[in-house]
Amino acid sequence: MPIELIHPMLVHFPIVLAMTAFGCDLVWIASPHRDPLTIPAFKVASVMLVAAGIAAILTAFFGDTAFDVALSRGFSDAQLETHQEMGIATAIVLPALAGVRALVWFRRWEQRLPGALIVVSISALAAVMVAVTAYFGGELVYGLGVNIHRAL
């Protein structure tokens, strides 16, 4: 299997995990008692955000390989740069956001309103970053046909 095809296989994990983490946080923040011990959505969202960070790192690594292959096939650097830069930024920011979220969790700041708003803001930022990166990636594939292989 060509190595540039690993990126499209992995790319869906950070998207789904970050979006689902945000959804779980919305459920958690809407509950009348935001105690994470009684609301599993908080814990599920925390684990998903960590997993999204790990998946984003792997996806960016293989995306860099796919970038090189696309350049060798004649696609211009300018067409690919925005998605590559967003992917790298997402791979850096998602694990950092997961770390901040872990700090909030371990310090139990999420039980107070400012902490709860920080937690939901972290999930929202992660979801937006992943969505914007995915949009530019979709434009490359569906708009320009980058690294598309014909069926045999």
**Domain edges within the chain:** 3-144
The mean pLDDT value for 127-135 works out to 94
Q: What is the DSSP string of 76-125?
A: -HHHHHHHHHHHHHHHHHHHHHHHHHHHHHHHTGGGSHHHHHHHHHHHHH
* pLDDT of res. 152: 47
Q: Which residues of 93-124 are buried (b: 16+ CB within 10 A; e: fewer)?
A: bbbebbeebeebbeeeebeeeebbebbbebbe
Q: How confident is the model at residue 103 (pLDDT cuts 50, 70, 90)?
A: confident
Q: What is the pTM of this model?
A: 0.85
pLDDT digits (tens, 9 = 90+) for 44-57: 888 999 999 999 99
